[in-house]
Amino acid sequence: MESDFDVIVAGGGVCGLIAAKEIASSNLRVSVLEENFEIGIPERCAGLISVKALTSLGLFPSRKIVNNEIKRALVYSPLGSKVEINATKQKIVVLNRREFDREIARIAEKYGAFIDLGQKVLNVDDKDKLVRVKTAKYERKAKILVDARGLSSLRSKHGFLQAAQYDIQGSWFEKDRVEVYLDNKVSPGFFKWLIPLNEDIARLGVAGYRINPYEILDEFIKNRKAKVIKKVASPIFVGGALKNFVHGKIVCVGDAAGQTKPTTGGGIFTGGVGALLAGKAISRSLINDDPLALRDYEAEWKRIFGKEFMIMKQARKIYERIDNERIEEIIKKLSCSNILNELSDKADFDYHSIGISQILTIIRDYPSLALDFIKLGLSTLFNLFKS
């Protein structure tokens, strides 16, 4: 049997396109099958990323792909207390996701990748020497399939949050400041977020276990005289990375590999790095006829993010068990401590364990809080930092 392509990539989102670009740059035949009829649509992601993370993916901030720059974060407690964190040193930007995805697609095509729109993968058969990929239009064969279809590929029953995001027009927020609203009654296990795109347009979203996100967002904007421009619903996965990313001739990347952060569900950086590593490993495997090279991708990603994800996952377990009174207490103690300066100086937007470590300092210094948190798994979290 002859293959139609060396590699077929199922999914034309960020991770699928990055993997395709990397593989095509090695002069291998790559086809990207994207179910939508337009790259970058719909925009499900909030689009926050650091400039450092962006450049590590081989991309550079430009007016075309960047909507805004964020310098501050305002965090609200359930009862209205608040604390502001200076994020200037983090150099965080808000992406224009449609243009960002299209830019990666242009680069992939420049290297020779073929992108076929409106082609939803209906069936994958990898029982023979080649992977057979079927769409409504045709069947194609490849040596390797990259599964970048997102959360639809995950079989896990745990770690999914209901979520929705609105694009809104309003006047109460500030252009350079993200807002986060913590409330484990309204949005259990997560929070509401507001990310400005410019002076009067923002992305407003919410996620949580067993919620109606539309009702929560509609209630939030009711008294703020905001105009809804667009609504998008999409679940968020916070369950952590899969045990294995490689299954024979099928290689999972991005959301399909569970490479979204267990704290926030963000995955442009962690999934993008996964796509880069997968692309390099696939290229080596095919060029050198070495199937074992695919495992290098899995090992390297876990070397970079394995411990980070374990810390974030344990921190999430603790947060999910905290009541609103404890959240209120932590926010109040943060607002009157020197820890905010340390968070501003040392925190890393891409590696949440650094910020988690700083917050643990607050908890440890207050016996009443520490006693409660030990019952919630704080000892396990401390041990992860020591390992």
Q: What is the pLDDT of residues 198-209, one digit of tens each?
A: 999 999 999 999
Considering only CA atoms, which of 104, 100, 120 is closest in space to residue 22? Answer: 104
Q: Mean pLDDT over residues 124-131, rounded?
A: 92
Residues 194 and 336 in one domain: no
Q: Confirm whether 81 is domain-assigned.
A: no
pLDDT at 135: 96
Q: How far is CA 7 from the centre of its chain?
A: 25
162-176 core/surface letters (b: 16 or more CB in 10 A; e: else): bbbbbbbebeebeee
| pLDDT exceeds cutoff 60 at 384 | yes
Q: Which two tokens stand for residue 79?
A: 């009862």
**How far apart (Å, rounded) are the C-alpha atoms in residues 343 and 150?**
32
**How far apart (Å, rounded) are the C-alpha atoms in residues 337 and 360?**
13
**How far apart (Å, rounded) are the C-alpha atoms in residues 47 and 272?**
13
Indicate the number of domains in the chain: 3
| pLDDT exceeds cutoff 60 at 336 | yes
Q: Confirm whether 72 is domain-assigned.
A: no
**How far apart (Å, rounded) are the C-alpha atoms in residues 114 and 148?**
16
Q: Could you tell me the pLDDT band of residue 157, with boundaries at 50, 70 and 90?
A: confident
pLDDT at 194: 97
Which residue has better confidence, 337 or 295?
295
pLDDT at 387: 61
Tens digit of each residue's pLDDT (9 = 90 or more) over 55-82 = 999 988 888 899 999 999 999 999 989 9
Residues 353 and 225 in one domain: no
**How far apart (Å, rounded) are the C-alpha atoms in residues 181 and 195?**
12
**How far apart (Å, rounded) are the C-alpha atoms in residues 209 and 216?**
13
Residues 144 and 266 in one domain: yes
Q: Which domain holds residue 232?
A: 160-237
Residues 193 and 249 in one domain: no
| pLDDT exceeds cutoff 70 at 5 | yes
Q: Confirm whether 51 is domain-assigned.
A: no
Q: Which of 11-25, 214-228, 317-331, 373-387 has maximum average pLDDT?
A: 11-25
Residues 257 and 233 in one domain: no
- Which domain CATH number covers 266? 3.50.50.60
Which residue has better confidence, 283 or 41?
283
pLDDT at 356: 81
| pLDDT exceeds cutoff 70 at 378 | no
Which residue has better confidence, 58 or 334?
58
- Single out the residue in 284, 304, 324 at which a domain terminates: 304
Q: Which two tokens stand for residue 335?
A: 């607002």
Q: Confirm whether 57 is domain-assigned.
A: no
- Single out the residue in 304, 329, 351 at which a domain terminates: 304
Residues 374 and 325 in one domain: yes
- Which domain CATH number covers 218? 3.30.9.10
Work out the burial of residue 65: count CB atoms within 10 Å of its CB; fewer than 13 is exposed, 13-18 middle, 19 or more buried: buried
Q: Confirm whether 56 is domain-assigned.
A: no
Q: Which two tokens stand for residue 1?
A: 């049997």
- Single out the residue in 274, 304, 334 at which a domain terminates: 304
pLDDT at 353: 85
Residues 28 and 108 in one domain: yes
Residues 130 and 29 in one domain: yes
Q: Confirm whether 71 is domain-assigned.
A: no
Residues 261 and 137 in one domain: yes
Q: Could you tell me the pLDDT band of residue 380, with boundaries at 50, 70 and 90?
A: low
Residues 353 and 219 in one domain: no
Tens digit of each residue's pLDDT (9 = 90 or more) over 235-272 = 999 999 999 999 999 999 999 999 999 999 999 999 99
Rg (CA), the chain: 21
Residues 229 and 334 in one domain: no
Decide the pairing of beta strands 236-237 and 123-125: unpaired
Q: Confirm whether 348 is domain-assigned.
A: yes
Considering only CA atoms, which of 352, 373, 356 is closest in space to residue 364? Answer: 373
Q: Which two tokens stand for residue 322?
A: 């905290």
Residues 211 and 354 in one domain: no
